[in-house]
Copies of this chain bind each other. A is one copy, B any other.
Amino acid sequence: MPLMNDYLSVYADYRSRIDEMLLNSITRKLPATLYEPLNYALNSGGKRIRPMMVIFSCETAGGSFGSSANAAVALEMLHNFTLVHDDIMDNADTRRGEPTVYKKWDSNVAILAGDQLIGLAYVYLLKTEIPNISEMTRAFTEGIIEVCEGQSYDKEFEARKDVSISEYMLMISKKTAKMLETSAAVGALIGGADKDFIAVVKEFALNIGLAFQIQDDLLDIVADEADFGKKIGGDIVEGKKTYLLLKAYENTQGSAGHKLLEKIINNNGLKNAGTKEIEEVREVYEESGAVSCARQEIEKFTDQAMQCLEKLPDNTGRQRLKWLAEMLMNRKI
């Protein structure tokens, strides 16, 4: 057994138990075009952040790993549903270094695998033993509703040239942060938390989600490629409307840098951009103050998240939530 304060060991232990449950979750073999891609999607790694958010939030509220494990699995399935469907929409070839379901099979298979993941997620969620199953299931369903809204906004933004920072914030609050919020809410409900606790732990997760996404945008240009696990400048090549692109575009009105960013926006990316072009964009991001704005926002949301934690009961669960937040922001996993 891990020591109580050895957070990484606790995480590794919980993660392997959740991985094991995911591995055993697909009991049927046929139809093979449904269950093979499902097995593939659920067992291709991932940090299992949402399960940890469920479990640690539950522990903070007074519950246990055992009482929240099924819901933790449900949240990971729901997360994977979004990945499998988003990869079709984004025409993404690889994920975590492996071919996406959509590429390995085809888009029809990926549509059905994603749909089935929603169904399976509810199967697992409903295994949870809790008096008020209705409230928990409603919180879970709200996650689906909002994540679909977030992805719709993201796709709409691809076709638009006038996306504002506040629209971007709304989009990431739904697309990225909401699933963490839902995880925290579901965990807290299982742990028997009251309304106030739930509101606070959701705010914690929302803030971490926002900080995490802006950091993800920032890492696209400042990270070490080996650490980041993705090619530097990928967002620029694809013309993704990141915090940095939008903020720099806003800040550079009338300057030469603005023209370069306009080119990215008008052409939906800098296709075939090499190191030199990426470096030019990075300089505009730096000089326009967009990078320092991003750093400030990350710090602000991280601080707000930590302040939320202070309002929760001071126990092992809360320490684990804090560790999870710090780990996410340092990206050491």
Contacts and interface: CB of A to CB of B under 8 A. Distances in A.
Interface of A: 28, 31-34, 81, 85, 88-89, 107-109, 111-112, 114-116, 118-120, 122-123, 126, 133-134, 137-138, 141, 144-145, 148-149, 151-153, 155-156
A115 B118 contact: yes
A33 B156 contact: yes
Contacts of A34: 148-149, 152
28 contacts: A31-B149, A33-B152, A33-B155, A34-B148, A34-B149, A34-B152, A85-B111, A88-B107, A88-B111, A89-B108, A107-B107, A109-B155, A111-B114, A112-B152, A114-B115, A115-B148, A116-B144, A116-B149, A119-B141, A119-B144, A119-B145, A122-B122, A123-B145, A126-B134, A126-B137, A126-B141, A133-B134, A137-B137
A333 to B, nearest CB: 29
A32 B118 CA distance: 23
A126 B140 CA distance: 11
Contacts of A151: 112
A149 B88 CA distance: 20
Number of copies: 2
A293 to B, nearest CB: 25
Nearest to A91: B108
Given A109-B155, A119-B144, 17 more contacts: A31-B149, A33-B152, A33-B156, A34-B152, A85-B111, A88-B111, A89-B111, A109-B152, A115-B148, A119-B141, A120-B145, A122-B141, A122-B144, A123-B138, A126-B138, A126-B141, A133-B133
